[in-house]
Amino acid sequence: MKLGTVIALFITLVASLYAKQERPNILWIIADDMSAHFSCYGETAIETPHLDRMAREGVMFTQAYVTAPVCSTSRSAFITGMYQTTIGSHHHRSGRGEYKIHLPEGVKIVPQLFQEAGYYTSIRGWRDRKDRPGKTDYNFEWDADLYDAVDWIGRKPGQPFFAQVQIPGGKLRGKEMEDFEKIQKIAEEELGSRTALGAGKLPPYYPAHPDIEADWAAYLDSVRVTDSTIGEVLALLEERGELENTVVLFMTDHGISHARGKQFLYQEGLHVPLVIMGPGVEQGDVRDDLVEHIDIAALSLGLAGIDIPEAMQAKDILAADYQPRVAVFGARDRCDETVEHIRSVTTSKFKFIRNYLHERPHMQPNRYKDNKLIVKTLRDLDASGKLNAMQHDLLFAPTRDPEELYDLENDPFETNNLANNPEYAGVLAKMRQQLGDWEEATDDKGRVPERSEIYDSDMATYQEKVDKSGEEQGNILRSNIALMKKWEAEGK
């Protein structure tokens, strides 16, 4: 081999290694059960300096939406960059029993794509910087080896990393009064104060009851503690000399767990924070265009210079040639034992919701949510006639409207359904068509009811787990499962 050829090959090799070292690290910080109640998003009851810093030094999306308002379906979606309804992962905590879910041919999870590109992959939980595996909760079968480790520190010299830090977020507030006190005490000890009752503004469909206000104050303190954790992660990157070459992304897996939040397609359940900072990201940018949480898959691949699979439904919303979405879509299906089928389409001005099982109440029995003090209190207040007419109708009416239409600009809390208002007939028809086209184009698997043997398989696994928590909880679950089957037999 000629000397010139050897030199050329050597230069190519060195350049390749240098380029590999220059590829940015990608780090996702994902919190559970939390809406956009941060000061950079306009929350005035608390301060969140660390996410505010990320917003100043990066880009903040004001109209980011999840495609599923519950953890396992949401996580199955963003880790693949695919709608959960397309890949068959739309039922919460499904595939846990005898019947397993496998991804469609050609669909890979994001850490696999990063691994194949030479990245080191990790996923960790976070509290006091202790190393522990991070939350996955995917509804499909996957290979745990697609994560190299809990921490990215074990990667080879010069090897970039794709890391996730999974944090409890809104789950820190728990479900009972003693849990509320626990997170407020943590806030007091770590941040010097606790959020006072009544400091935050309750949505009008929740009464200003002491239990509800205590829950909301605890939730706001969980936001403050989450923000503190963001600061800890940024500090760790700085300590390791990695911050300048790391893209840091913060998002939540869905909105606050409340009666109209988690599990539902209102703003409280779908609208989430999304803030990104780091190399390749414009500083101080505020984006008001509509984006979906699955888009973090594509934008992360794009920032790393990795080809985005053609079949991936996520969009690289940071790409120079990105064309903004005109609408975003949401889907709610079975959550644990509770059978449901709801779809939504949201534009910059309107929200359209279709309740396929509209003969069932909004607050169907659900063992998980019914164990929360806030839900118990709301049910008690309704039973004693202490909710106003609007609160009763939105939360506890025995049936729902088949279609809902809201003017988000003038009715941000979605209390005035315009679907039967003739002045909005044109908007309703257009959005009904948008939703139908999306269901067809994305092969929405929810159009076909879950087979009884698959439901029974998942419920057997769930029942076994719940029975371990005591006879009362086990019987509640059995009763709820029986009710779901009764309603299905009645055609409800």
21-61 pLDDT, tens digit each: 489 999 999 999 999 999 999 999 999 999 999 999 999 99
How far is it, in rounded angstroms, from Cα 483 to Cα 488?
8
With 90 as the cut, is the pLDDT of residue 269 above it?
yes
Q: Residue 7 domain-assigned? A: no
How far is it, in rounded angstroms, from Cα 189 to Cα 323?
46
In the block, tokens 């120079």 appear at 320
Query: Residue 386 gets which letter from DSSP?
Result: -
With 60 as the cut, is the pLDDT of residue 14 above it?
no
CATH label of the domain that carries residue 411: 3.30.1120.10
Residue 10: CB partners within 8 Å, gap ≥ 6? none
* Continuous H helices in 258-407: 267-270, 295-303, 367-370, 373-383, 389-396
Domain final position from 320, 347, 370: 320
Domain final position from 267, 296, 320: 320
Integer angstrom CA distances of residue 393 from 69, 76, 417 = 22, 33, 11
Report residue 8's pLDDT band, with 50, 70 and 90 as the boundaries.
very low
How far is it, in rounded angstroms, from Cα 302 to Cα 299?
5
Q: Residue 388 domain-assigned? A: yes
The pair of three-digit structure tokens given for residue 57, joined into one six-digit string: 């030094």
305 with 438, same domain: the answer is: no
How many CB atoms within 10 Å of residue 140?
21
Range of the domain at 310: 24-320
Residue 207: CB partners within 8 Å, gap ≥ 6? 378, 381, 386, 387, 388, 391
Beta bridge partners of 274: 61, 251
Q: Residue 326 domain-assigned? A: no
How far is it, in rounded angstroms, from Cα 233 to Cα 51?
11
**pLDDT for 22:** 80
338 with 215, same domain: the answer is: no
250 with 397, same domain: the answer is: no
How many structural domains compose the chain?
3
218 with 356, same domain: the answer is: no
Q: Residue 292 domain-assigned? A: yes
Report residue 381's pLDDT band, with 50, 70 and 90 as the boundaries.
very high
Residue 124: CB partners within 8 Å, gap ≥ 6? 131, 132, 133, 134, 150, 151, 163, 164, 165, 166
The C-alpha R_g of the chain, in whole angstroms, comes to 23
Q: Residue 458 domain-assigned? A: yes
The average pLDDT across 398-424 equals 98
Integer angstrom CA distances of residue 179 from 187, 192, 246 = 13, 19, 35
Q: Are 140 and 103 in contact (CB under 8 A)?
A: yes
Q: Are 295 and 69 in contact (CB under 8 A)?
A: no
With 60 as the cut, is the pLDDT of residue 134 above it?
yes
**pLDDT for 131:** 76
Q: Are 307 and 117 in contact (CB under 8 A)?
A: no
Q: Are 200 and 36 in contact (CB under 8 A)?
A: no
HSE toward the beta carbon, residue 490, CA cutoff 13 A: 10
The pair of three-digit structure tokens given for residue 130, joined into one six-digit string: 């202790």
pLDDT in tens, 222-239: 999 999 999 999 999 999
The average pLDDT across 299-326 equals 97
How many CB atoms within 10 Å of residue 238?
12
Q: What is the pTM of this model?
A: 0.94
With 80 as the cut, is the pLDDT of residue 150 above it?
yes
Q: Residue 11 domain-assigned? A: no
**pLDDT for 7:** 44
Domain final position from 292, 320, 348: 320
**pLDDT for 132:** 87
How far is it, in rounded angstroms, from Cα 157 to Cα 382?
61
248 with 360, same domain: the answer is: no
Report residue 10's pLDDT band, with 50, 70 and 90 as the boundaries.
very low
Beta bridge partners of 328: 346
444 with 461, same domain: the answer is: no
Q: Residue 83 domain-assigned? A: yes
143 with 265, same domain: the answer is: yes
Query: Which candidate, 262, 60, 254, places its Cα nearest to that of 175?
Result: 262
What is the average pLDDT score of the chain? 95
Q: Is 434 exposed, middle or buried (0-12, 13-18, 19+ CB in 10 A)?
A: middle
474 with 410, same domain: the answer is: no
273 with 257, same domain: the answer is: yes
357 with 230, same domain: the answer is: no
How many CB atoms within 10 Å of residue 10?
10
Q: Are 231 and 248 in contact (CB under 8 A)?
A: no
**Largest CA-CA distance found in the chain, in angstroms, rounded:** 92
Angle at 378 between CA 373 and CA 379, to 5 degrees: 100
With 70 as the cut, is the pLDDT of residue 377 above it?
yes
294 with 422, same domain: the answer is: no
How far is it, in rounded angstroms, from Cα 74 to Cα 491?
28
Cα-based torsion angle of the residue sequence 331, 334, 339, 343 in order, rounded to the nearest 10 degrees: 0
**pLDDT for 398:** 97
Q: Residue 224 domain-assigned? A: yes
414 with 471, same domain: the answer is: no
**pLDDT for 129:** 60
Please provide the DSSP assignment of 303-329 as one string.
HTTPPPPTT-----TTSTTPPPBS-EE
